[in-house]
Structure 1
Amino acid sequence: MPDGHPKETSHELGKVILTALNDRQTGWSMGSFGAIAEFHQVEGDPGALWPDVFTRVTDRGGVAFTDLTDCTAVAYETLSPKPDRWGQSVALCLPEAAARMSRHKVLTALGPDHGALLPEHRGAMLFDMGLDQPQVDFCIRTDDPQLIDVLTQAEGQSLFTPGNPAMPAILAAHPHRIAVTRIGRVEVFQKIGGPDTGGKSPVGPHTHILPKLMATGRTHSANTPIPDGLVPVAGLHPASALSDQLGRDKPWDPAAFAAFQALFRDWAPSGQAELKALVRDLIAAGSQPDVFAPPPGRHMRAAVRIAIRQAAREDGETPTLSAWRALFDGAAKPEDLPPEHPA
């Protein structure tokens, strides 16, 4: 890993990422629509190591940023099926051409992982899983001679070919999973979620590989409002005002809410922050909802509904707010569907 700061064009973005890396409540992800690696720090664990300024590593995994050149941040919110909730994230995006990775279609040996976050892992062997994803090379890393032998014999084949022994061997051995993108990488040291983990992903860093989502050929969920021409390669997941890192309810956190809203005002897709502010102003003024004509588009409709939910959280229920909710956030709509991606 190079020392010091990653290359970047936006000092503000680098500053935000560095601040977030120092916040144990912030989560991170890198990957694609259907193949993703997540890094979270776990309460009670020792603090993360700092191999360099833009890298954090724990006993469970790590995240590193190496090149923020041409990186664009897109802050967005998503509807929750629960009527009083919403999700939030910051997508770190690159232009399509700049985001493109190797797109290996078969299991491919890459040699020792010289880019490993920790020196003790740099002699282990790296294998591209051959998932053919546009913005991530999804790899496994191992120094297990038996697993290396199985993977070497299966090189050049798809992991999903019936009868290929490589995937069962991977699931049994639990090698490190490495998501490599043009802006950095996430490493996961923990076991793969499955029978050995009680059928659940382990707490903290973990991975998801979902062939049905990968088969769509999309780079991201339809619920994620990424501008045309950009591809999300990583996600910054700040602390929620509503729930903890495990998704459990917590008391309303106004500081966490304000912190994300500041990012949203700067980095939201065009018009969304202004639309939410307008809705909040109209509700605060006691205006009835029939004076408002919502703009078209699923993401703009979702922004209206999220503004109503946030008004309820911050200001409490009022007759005016109830009228807005009944008109715009009552019956289930297509955008109520949860994101296709579990992350």
Structure 2
Amino acid sequence: MLDLFQVARGRLDDPETGWNMGSFGAIAEFHHVAGDPPPTVTGDLSRITARGGIRLDTLTDVRPVAFETLSPKPHRWSQAVALCLPEDAALMSRRDNLTELGPDTKALRPEDQGAVLFDMGLAQPQVDFCIRTSDPKLLSVLREAEGKSLFEKGNPAMGAILATHPHRVALTRVGRVEVYQLIGGPDTGGKSPEGPHTHVLPKLLRAERTHSANAPIPEGWVPCASFHPGSPVFDRMGADKDFDAEAFAAFQDLLRLWGIAEYNTAKDAAWAALRAGENAESHREPDTRLGRAALRNAIRQWRRENGDASLVRAWAERFDRSTHETEDDNPGH
């Protein structure tokens, strides 16, 4: 049986696997970048590059949940493993105002351990989303704004953050992600830089969700980190690629071990019916959102793995025509 520690260590070294920590609307991501030097290994579950780093401090009591989500594009799907803790164990500070936390003595790099950490005050359940800086001018602005919401009208702190690009640090009960690159915006051409980066999206934060509704996290559990193995159907920059049977099989192993039984059962039933040549009209569509996603992904995966024969096209026409209950592609995320 696959061991979570061994899987996590292997995926940290896999250049095709992306990692993240955060919530629905505030997330920090760690990715390898093609052509960059390999990450520095600073512990069994800690990796650092010039662009950012990640450390998993503990996997105790973590429940891995493997899942696939539907893409709006009918020839694709996404895949991930969420590292979850029970709700009570996952909770962080939930500060709702900018708060100085002092020197970041647990920073991944020794040279950053004297820099000052500020909780941005996003009040998210499972992550303290922070910035870190030694810049005297930025420190002055942040200290003047301490105790206020970053989104308060007239507060200059957010503008100063966007202009100076301090490190971003996402802290959860299982570890941390640090991002050293520029914040995506005017200074990056309006898009996130390749490799480690962050997103803070106020509209999504207002939903007060710990995760997307399309991620089938079991009730009572909260994702504190996730990893996204390389897709078998698109590359890390989001471009279509030829079907990668090895990557597909590797994730199916994780799905069988850590996936939701209802999803796996519905997908296996669809594959068995297709294998037997059953007409689409004879197959009963599942009643649940998760079951429908399993059926639709089973059809997409069958087409990519076995070819686009008339039988599976008929199944797609009957069951997989809508963009309803899909999730935008987010390569490596």
| TM-score, scaled to structure 2 | 0.97
CA distance in 1, matches of 2:60, 2:273: 40
Deviations 1:136-194 (A, max 9, x none): 00000001111111111111110111111111110111000000000000000000000
CA distance, structure 2, for counterparts of residue 284 and residue 218 of structure 1: 39
Q: State the one-letter code of the partner of 1:98.
A: A
Residue number in structure 1 paired with 2:267 = 276
- Aligned residue number for residue 313 of structure 1: 304
Match among 17, 25, 32 for residue 41 of structure 1: 32
Structure 1 residue ranges without an equivalent (≥5): 1-9
Compare 248-257 and 169-178 and name the one that shifted more.
248-257
1:243 aligns with 2:234: yes
2:326 to 320, 323, 336: 336
Residues 19 and 342 (structure 1), Cα distance of their counterparts in 2 relative to 1, 3 Å cut: closer
Note if contact 1:29-1:234 (Cα within 8 Å) is conserved in structure 2. Answer: yes
TM-score, normalised to structure 1, is: 0.94
Q: Which secondary structure does the structure 2 equivalent of 1:126 belong to?
A: strand
- Counterpart selection for 2:187 from 184, 196, 199: 196
- State the distance in 1 between where 2:313 and 2:255 align: 25
Give 1:3's aligned residue: none
Partner in structure 2 of residue 7 of structure 1: none
**Counterpart pick for 2:92 among 84, 101, 107:** 101
Contact preservation (8 Å) 1:34, 1:341: no
8 Å Cα contact 1:221/1:340 also seen in 2: no
User: Which residue of 2 is the match for residue 81 of structure 1?
Assistant: 72
User: Is the 1:99–1:181 Cα contact (8 Å) retained in structure 2?
Assistant: yes
Q: In the TM superposition, what is the alpha-carbon distance from 1:251 to its structure 2 partner?
A: 2.0
SS of the aligned residue for 2:41 comes to coil
The residue aligned with 2:205 is 214
Does residue 111 (structure 1) correspond to residue 117 (structure 2)? The answer is: no
Change (3 A) 1:152 1:236: same
Q: Which residue of 1 aligns with 2:174?
A: 183
- 1:264-297 Cα offsets, whole Å, 9 max, x none, are 1111112211221121111011111222212211
Does 1:293 find its partner at 2:284? yes
Relative to structure 1, the CA distance from residue 200 to residue 268 in structure 2 (aligned partners, 3 Å threshold; closer, same or farther) is: same
Describe the shift of the 1:54–1:39 C-alpha distance in structure 2 as closer, same or farther (beyond 3 A). same
Distance 2:81 2:252 in 1: 11
Match of 1:29 in 2: 20
Give the Cα–Cα distance (whole angstroms) in 2 for the partners of residues 129 and 167 of structure 1: 9
**C-alpha separation between the residues in 2 aligned to 1:24 and 1:317?**
31
SS in 1 for 2:325: helix
Q: Give the AA of the match of 1:334.
A: H
In the alignment, residue 241 of structure 2 is paired with which amino acid?
K
Would the aligned equivalents of 1:223 and 1:339 in 2 still touch at CA under 8 Å?
no
Aligned pairs, how many?
Answer: 333
2:251 maps to 1:260: yes
SS at structure 1 position matched to 2:40: coil
Q: Which letter maps to 2:100?
A: A
Mapped partners of 2:20, 2:264: distance in 1:
24
What's the offset of the Cα at 1:321?
Answer: 1.1
For the residues of structure 1 that align with 2:43 and 2:257, how far apart are their CA atoms? 28
Measure how far apart 1:55 and its partner are: 0.3
- 2:140 corresponds to 1:153: no
Q: Distance in 2 between matches of 1:338 and 1:28?
A: 17
Question: Residue deviations 1:281-333, cap 9 Å, x none?
Answer: 11011111222212211121011000001000111122221221111112x15
Cα pair distance change 1:206/1:224, threshold 3 Å: same
Deviation at 1:341, TM superposition (A): 12
Query: Secondary structure of the residue that 1:123 maps to in structure 2?
Result: coil
- CA distance in 1 between counterparts of 2:316 and 2:331 reads 27
Amino acid corresponding to residue 112 of structure 2 in structure 1: H
SS in 2 for 1:335: coil
Corresponding residue for residue 44 of structure 2: 53
Question: What SS does the corresponding residue of 1:50 show, helix, strand or coil?
Answer: strand
Structure 2 CA distance, aligned partners of 1:284 and 1:249?
Answer: 26
Contact 2:16 2:332 in 1 (8 A): no
Match of 1:37, SS? strand
Output the amino acid matched with 1:254: A
Any conservation in 1 of the 2:78–2:329 contact (CA below 8 Å)?
no
Q: CA shift at 1:342, angstroms?
A: 11
CA-atom RMSD in angstroms:
1.7
